[in-house]
Structure 1
Amino acid sequence: MTGKTRTDRSTAPADGAVRAVEPGPGAPAGWLALLAGPLSFGIAGPALILPDAARDLGLTTAAATWIVTAFGWAIAVGTPLAAGLQSRRGARTALATSAALVLLGAVLTLVAPALPALVAGSALQGLGTAGLTTIAMSLTGSARAMGLVTASLATVGSTAPLAGDVVADLLGWRAALALPVLSLLALPAVLRRRPVTPLSGARFDLPGAVLLTALVTALVFVPHDWQAAGAAAAVAGVAFGLWLRARPDGFVPAAVVRAPVFLASAGAAFLLAVVNFGMMYALPPLLAEHAGWSSGRVGLAITWPLLFGGLASYLVIAATARAPFRALAAGFPVLGAAGVALAGLSAVPAVLLVAQALTSLAAASGQGAFATRAGAAVADGARPAAMGLFNLAYLLGAAFGPAIATLPAG
């Protein structure tokens, strides 16, 4: 990363001299996994409870989906913003800010009288959990720790629809929408370890942050209105590219986006997410049509291959920690492509579920393995920014996959 690197302000001595900082022992991977995993409740948790929310609010289910759309937009926008905050103010400040957003969003969700307030609460939770997840990934110190964090995201995501349905039955659908607040259970344990990360000495790049936010916002809406959003994304992309050349040490460090291994890792993660989340939306209609299963049975059946992918990914990431990057760049996409091919060749329910297991394993394993390589491809001071941009690529894939999968039906 270009620009100077400084220590966290909380560790700087009173006389203004900059001395070496010895960070305490890193937070245990289990706490980092708990810090990150509940983000998936906001993405997948509302799947089965939106009709209940719509009915109680006097809305259509389509209108109620703005709750999920707001969360998706917020995690996409919040991921690079949180990384920028961590780079300039340190992990502790970024953790506290992200936690406050999650808590405020959860409270607003629980008491919101109408849809606009619910959308705002969902967006606040998305911004906060995006920060907590990005910070958790940046604090991992090994491939095993990264594997546990990404496996938690996949595992929670696979069970989130059923968990949300159970919580809604017991406590109401508002409580189910507030499940991302569970990430705060890990906050005291992580903060007790006094996490310290290198800080950027560069002046805050407000134009760069605004341009990146505009670009991400346009990209998030491309699947919903590709003409208008695509044009906006093209304009924002050109403007952002020009600004990046003029300010290489700005909000997005040019050293990160110019690192070949980082670009390859982020690109592979994007493609794996497109395939996996696209399969998650393409398979239910096929199972309902060819097996005659009800929606409840389909949802329960798909949970198992997704859960397998999330749990098994931890072992795969640990086993491939020392594998050559080229092997990873070829292996995980081939595994995902095999799942797509299998689904295209057979309509037998068991085969379709195996196909989902393959794409889930490829995406969950690839996310952890490539995140480790992406972080290692840049200087320590640029690691938070790299993790933020890497997660952004994966989340954009999660947005594009379902849209692509539903094109034939549209």
Structure 2
Amino acid sequence: MTAGTVAAAAGTAVRGRALALAALAAPAAAGVSGPALVVPEAAASLGVSVPTATWLLTVFGIGMAAGTPLLTAAGRRSGPGGTLRTAAALVVAGTALVLFVPGFAAALAGRALLAAGAAGFNVAAFQLAGRDRSGRSAGLVAIGSAVGGTAGLFGGAAVAAGVDWRGALVLPVLSVAALGWVRGPAPDAPDSPRPRPARDGTATALRSPAFRSSAGLMLVLSTVNFGLMYAGPRRAGELAGWGVVQTGAFAAVAALAGALLSWLLVRARARPWVLACGGALAVALAAGGPWAWVVLLGSGVSSLATAAAQGLLTGASTEGLPEELHDTAVGLFNFAFLVGVAAGPALASALLS
């Protein structure tokens, strides 16, 4: 084989691995948005108020934020394979709790377990993708995550309408099915633990200016995105008079278009200020738009900026750090993203109440 053929085969293998990791991350992200449009139905069934039922969204973000550092630490000991096995067990346990144990407390606890498992899938996917220093693998995983998060809007509404609202709460269980595609080590890195970082690894990462700027921007964009994921479709539906499934379909299409278009920003290596402007524009369109399509355009712009930021800033967050701290930095970066996942719906719910 010629050198060119070998390089092409290696590139194909890396892209195939990235697509598999994207498929793993997508259902995990769907857990964030899946219940967004069925909160009133869940509230009525569980006998709680709508603001109380909104905790079914908020607890997922909290669970992912809490699960990220725990499963990142586990991954340093047992490698991504161990992280994936732990994540699968948590997701299956959470699914069983939501589907088969009645009551709001059980649903809340199940969502927390599902979130911790989803965090594990997310951590493993981005750690493996982050070993491609071009940033393109991380970009594909970010797009997969964004696609899952946006498709969850329609998927959750459709499952609730066709089966039961509880099904909208357990969409991350689909990640378990994707594990069959993610098998064997990454083409460019063994599936084994990296050298254990020094005790002050977290502090070193937090002191890094590159990490702080990347994680700070990711936190802001994530908070905006998931706040709009909760509030945007509701406002659009009210303006247009759509039903839940119709609202979910239109909202998912808008956000999905933004997620897919984010690849253009990843390939162009867009500057952070472009991403920040995208987040600001999204808020202006979604909050002030007088028509449903303007509100949904805001959601799409937010999805575009957030997905591009995950792809571009994951690698940027490790700049200037020794290689043994890269996984730590990626885990902390994802923690910042997940704080926004939790804060966004809670903030939107508070502003709307």
Give the TM-score normalised by structure 2. 0.83
Cα distance, 1:44 vs structure 2? 0.8
Once the two structures are superposed, the pairs formed by residues 276-287 of structure 1 within 5 Å of their partners are 276-284=225-233, 286-287=235-236
Match of residue 313 from structure 1: 262
3-state SS of 1:198 partner: coil
Tell me if 1:293 matches 2:241.
yes
After superposition, the Cα gap between the structure-2 partners of 1:293 and 1:35, relative to the gap in structure 1 and judged at 3 Å, is: same
3-state SS of 1:117 partner: helix
Q: Spell out, residue by residue over 1:244-287, the C-alpha distance to the aligned partner (whole angstroms, 9 max, x if none).
A: xxx624xxx22211111111111111121233233344545654
The Cα RMSD (Å) is 2.7
In 1, distance between residues paired with 2:349 and 2:35? 19
Match of residue 78 from structure 2: 89
Once the two structures are superposed, the pairs formed by residues 177-326 of structure 1 within 5 Å of their partners are 177-193=169-185, 195-200=191-196, 248-249=200-201, 253-284=202-233, 286-287=235-236, 291-296=239-244, 297-320=246-269
Q: Spell out, residue by residue over 1:54-86, the C-alpha distance to the aligned partner (whole angstroms, 9 max, x if none).
A: 444444444444433332221010011111111
Match of residue 328 from structure 1: 271
In 1, distance between residues paired with 2:335 and 2:125? 15
The counterpart of 1:366, out of the listed 306, 309, 317, is 309
In 2, distance between residues paired with 1:179 and 1:265? 29
Tell me if 1:144 matches 2:140.
no
In 1, distance between residues paired with 2:258 and 2:21? 20
Match of residue 172 from structure 1: 164
Match of residue 399 from structure 1: 342
After superposition, the Cα gap between the structure-2 partners of 1:200 and 1:309, relative to the gap in structure 1 and judged at 3 Å, is: same
Match of residue 157 from structure 1: 149
After superposition, the Cα gap between the structure-2 partners of 1:405 and 1:369, relative to the gap in structure 1 and judged at 3 Å, is: same
Q: Spell out, residue by residue over 1:215-240, the C-alpha distance to the aligned partner (whole angstroms, 9 max, x if none).
A: xxxxxxxxxxxxxxxxxxxxxxxxxx
In 2, distance between residues paired with 1:365 and 1:275? 14
In 1, distance between residues paired with 2:288 and 2:94? 44
3-state SS of 2:34 partner: helix
Match of residue 296 from structure 2: 353
- Structure 2 regions of 5+ residues with no counterpart? 1-12
Q: Spell out, residue by residue over 1:170-223, the C-alpha distance to the aligned partner (whole angstroms, 9 max, x if none).
A: 443333322211111232343422623413165xxxxxxxxxxxxxxxxxxxxx
Preserved contact between residue 256 and residue 382 of structure 1 (Cα < 8 Å):
yes
After superposition, the Cα gap between the structure-2 partners of 1:348 and 1:97, relative to the gap in structure 1 and judged at 3 Å, is: closer
Cα distance, 1:377 vs structure 2? 4.3
Cα distance, 1:344 vs structure 2? 6.2
Match of residue 330 from structure 2: 387
Give the TM-score normalised by structure 1. 0.72
- Structure 1 regions of 5+ residues with no counterpart? 1-24, 203-246, 321-326
After superposition, the Cα gap between the structure-2 partners of 1:129 and 1:284, relative to the gap in structure 1 and judged at 3 Å, is: closer
In 2, distance between residues paired with 1:120 and 1:407? 22
After superposition, the Cα gap between the structure-2 partners of 1:342 and 1:46, relative to the gap in structure 1 and judged at 3 Å, is: closer
The counterpart of 1:45, out of the listed 10, 34, 39, is 34
Preserved contact between residue 197 and residue 381 of structure 1 (Cα < 8 Å):
no
Cα distance, 1:342 vs structure 2? 4.4
> Residue type of the partner of 1:150?
A
Match of residue 205 from structure 1: none
Match of residue 10 from structure 2: none
Structure 1, 358-367 or 396-405: larger mean CA deviation: 396-405
Q: Percent identity, aligned pairs only?
A: 38
Cα distance, 1:329 vs structure 2? 1.8
Preserved contact between residue 59 and residue 342 of structure 2 (Cα < 8 Å):
no
The counterpart of 1:99, out of the listed 81, 84, 88, is 88
Preserved contact between residue 110 and residue 175 of structure 1 (Cα < 8 Å):
yes
